[in-house]
Structure 1
Amino acid sequence: MPVIDQDMRDIVERAWLAFAATVCDDGSPNLSPKGSLRVYDDDHLAFMDIGSPATIANLRRDPRIEINVIDVFSRRGYRFTGSVSFAEPGAPEYEWLNRWLLDLNGPGYPANEVVLVKVERARPILSPAYTSGGADQDALTTAWEQRYRTTLAEVPLGPPPGTGAAG
């Protein structure tokens, strides 16, 4: 039975940014943003090593990974847990993802190797708006899309409170 269902595929497609957690050699956590995460098939996610030497070193030593993907507008997502393998240039997984990156970003985009994640477990992430507030997804999505447009267009961020920095 496939681990990755259609809803998970949709969330990954909409999110555009994911976060990959690995373990450093001293046991400390490493969290790395991934803008190239795609669903490869029913059991695998893939992302390109574009510039993540610490993440790649961690995964070569310890192939365990967790990837969190959130659709910021619907306020939900998934935690994917699994282990990785690598695909070099010329491998089908590499050529597939590299073609997508080049179509998206143009020629010359850096691409070292593909990290292929065998998803062993997928768990939902839900905003408390769903778990405690009984939110309707369509209404919540519309409200958050409007909130982002309004906030980005009309509300200057300014300095953090108490920093004494002038705006």
Structure 2
Amino acid sequence: MVLTEEIKEYIDKSVLCWLATVSEDGMPNVSPKECFNYFGSENIIVANIASPQSVKNIKSNPNICLSFIDIFEQMGYQIKGKAEIIGKKNSLFLEMESVLTKMTGGKYPFSTITYISPEKVKPIIAPKYVLYPETTVKDQIESAKKTYGI
């Protein structure tokens, strides 16, 4: 599945994403991730900085859900798909690491990367846009800034 330019723009605008995984015994886990990006036109990568539960879950069950939004616009995407853990021995690791290290400035070491292959994509839209269709992105940004005291 190809990531559209709009999806890539929202990845660029999002400060965090939330990665949902499921353990071997079916227990869900959601973990915020600060260092993530698209890789090529079809995949998303996430640095495993402090992610032991996510890594363990993906190794036993590759099904994931990743969500990210622009906190001011309150729009973004939910992506469901399969993930695999990429270690330093993988031939693509250095290229992926380079993309993610630019984001961290090398301040957060990581030895594995979650490599996500999207299968389903769904927009995330704040309820205000649906309940009040006259709401513009500008209105939503102003409202969010007021709420956050910015």
User: TM-score, length-normalised on structure 2?
Assistant: 0.88
The CA deviation string for residues 103-150 of structure 1, in whole angstroms up to 9 with x for no partner, is 343346311111110000100011111111111112322332354244
The CA deviation string for residues 67-114 of structure 1, in whole angstroms up to 9 with x for no partner, is 011111001111100001232226464323422443343346311111
Q: Distance in 2 between matches of 1:92 and 1:32?
A: 27
Q: Aligned residue pairs: how many?
A: 149
Give the aligned partner of residue 51 of structure 2. Answer: 52
Q: Is the 8 A contact 1:18 1:34 kept in 2?
A: yes
Shift in CA distance, 128/77, structure 1 to aligned 2, threshold 3 Å: same
Based on CA coordinates, which of the two structures has the bigger radius of gyration? 1
Give 1:9-48 correspondences, 5 Å limit.
9-48=8-47
- The AA in structure 2 aligned to 1:131 is V
Q: Does 1:137 align with 2:108?
A: no
The CA deviation string for residues 38-89 of structure 1, in whole angstroms up to 9 with x for no partner, is 0112221110111211111100001000001111100111110000123222
Q: Which moved more, 1:102-111 or 1:66-75?
A: 102-111
Q: Distance in 2 between matches of 1:109 and 1:145?
A: 29
RMSD: 1.9
Q: Work out which structure has the larger RCO, using CA pairs closer than 8 Å and 6 or more positions apart in sequence.
A: 2
Q: Distance in 1 between matches of 2:2 and 2:104?
A: 30
- The AA in structure 2 aligned to 1:142 is E
**Structure 2: stretches of 5+ with no match in the other structure:** none
